[in-house]
Amino acid sequence: MIAESERLFAAAQRVLPGGVNSPVRAFRGVGGTPRFIASGEGALLVDADGNRYLDLVLSWGPLILGHAHPEVLAAVVEAASRGTTYGAPTELEVRLAERVVAAFPSVEMVRFVSSGTEAAMSAVRLARAATGRTAIVKFDGCYHGHADSLLAAAGSGVATLGLPDSPGVTAGTVADTLVVPFNDTSVVEALFAARGRDIAAVLVEPVAGNMGVVPPAPGFLEALRELTRRAGALLVFDEVMTGWRVHPVGAQALYGITPDLTILGKVVGGGLPAAAYGGARALMEQIAPAGPVYQAGTLSGNPVAMAAGVATLDVLARPGMWERAERWAACAANVLTRAAARAGVPLTVQRVGTMLTPFFTGAPVTNYADAKRADRAAYGAFFHAMLDAGVYLPPSAFESAFTSTAHGEAELDAFEAAVTTAWVR
């Protein structure tokens, strides 16, 4: 029964565009009525009708400790009790910055902002200022937020809704955005041969997550590092999704690549709105007020968000915590693969760390074109069968599922039972 979700969705559509505040939430990619959530606890969600779901969305990645983790809640309550925002520096900003700098060897200084979009936009501005160049290279199907210059051949919700880019983004705005296929080193090499002197930066999700989980091909990230270094361009890793998700630190630690700039989000805010970008001191000191590159934000470094981030990273750093979430993801991937084989369903499950995507295709997915060839209708049917069985998956075939430290043996048993039920049905 979802009567209350249906009522709320009808009311929402009268006052919110599409009834939501972020497009993928509207279930357009899978059909049906989005569930309006009343609460979350650990690995579970409860909707407005009282239905309980095993959550594999986890607010699209931030909740690596699960919902309402007691230590994170305690830190948030303590911070909020002293005031929710000051528009002035706090010790909590320093503490979270110290943890980020300690975690990422490529990051000597960091600037906090309020969203991944803001972080990506600011990193691009810094790259252009530092190099004196204008062109930015991005990859087909990789999503770096909804700033105009980066909303070209994006994945995520743009892909789900079937929009090539977005109305309102002018040709002039994206004229300096050069889009190439993910995992295609030869095309990137040719682009640098032709335009290398114009390129300020290459911006990449080191593990793509907004076309579904697509890992880098062997040698791909290494080639990007070498090409950018040789051309005097910057390599920017968008680790909004992969930071603390594909490795206890991030993709740059997993693959041994040192980018010039790193974009962070999701986990770094512990479930509250926060993101960051960082890099070498010489680069970051070009940002105002230390340097001439302007960027500001009223709620940047918000003390409540900083408290949530510090608490989350402190808990996650304990021995075995991250491995618990990763182990659950590996088991879930195996469950899906075995069940699909028994049912004779073509399925390729791709996983890196605590991120995974089931693609309804019999072939590996290496880029956005491959992802679009997967059977989205089959994913939609599977999504609803799993939802009926009590598992909340991403309502889009182009997104990653996530696991948390709150996912344990009981939740794995429930997941396996749901998968079995979904394919039997």
Residues 55 and 172 in one domain: no
Catalytic residue among 138, 198, 260, 266: 266
The number of angstroms, rounded, from the C-alpha of 413 to the middle of its chain's C-alpha atoms is 27
For 251-276, what is each residue's pLDDT tens digit? 999 999 999 999 999 999 999 999 99
- Which structural domain, as residue segments, surrounds residue 384? 3-68+319-424
Q: What is the mean pLDDT of residues 178-198?
A: 93
Residues 306 and 335 in one domain: no
Give the residue among 251, 254, 276, 15 at the shortest CA–CA distance from 122: 276
Kind of pairing, strands 348-352 and 355-359? Answer: antiparallel
């594909």: which residue's tokens?
Answer: 246
* Res 196 pLDDT > 80: yes
Residues 284/301, Cβ–Cβ less than 8 Å: no
User: Angle 261-100-262 (CA atoms, 0-180°, nearest 5)?
Assistant: 15
| 277 part of the active site | no
* Res 385 pLDDT > 50: yes
Write down which residue in 316, 341, 375 finishes a domain. Answer: 316
């080193």: which residue's tokens?
Answer: 185
Query: Total structural domains in the chain?
Result: 2
Residues 343 and 196 in one domain: no
Catalytic residue among 53, 143, 255, 368: 143
Beta strands in 173-233 (DSSP E): 177-180, 199-204
| 143 part of the active site | yes
Residues 182 and 213 in one domain: yes
Q: Is 179 helix (H, G, I), strand (E, B) or coil?
A: strand
Residues 339 and 311 in one domain: no
Q: Mean pLDDT of all residues in the chain?
A: 94
* Res 156 pLDDT > 80: no
Residues 191 and 300 in one domain: yes
CATH number at 232 reads 3.40.640.10
d(CA 363, CA 61): 26
Catalytic residue among 238, 255, 277, 392: 238
Confidence class for position 176, pLDDT limits 50, 70, 90: confident
Residues 160/28, Cβ–Cβ less than 8 Å: yes
d(CA 163, CA 73): 38
Residues 306 and 290 in one domain: yes
Residues 94 and 130 in one domain: yes
Write down which residue in 268, 285, 316 finishes a domain. Answer: 316
CATH number at 356 reads 3.90.1150.10
Residues 63 and 203 in one domain: no
d(CA 310, CA 404): 17
d(CA 184, CA 202): 14
Write down which residue in 276, 297, 316 finishes a domain. Answer: 316
Residues 38 and 117 in one domain: no
**Burial class, 107, CB count within 10 angstroms (exposed 0-12 / middle 13-18 / buried 19+):** buried
| 138 part of the active site | no
For 64-102, what is each residue's pLDDT tens digit? 999 999 999 999 999 999 999 999 999 999 999 999 999
Residues 337 and 399 in one domain: yes
Residues 252 and 348 in one domain: no
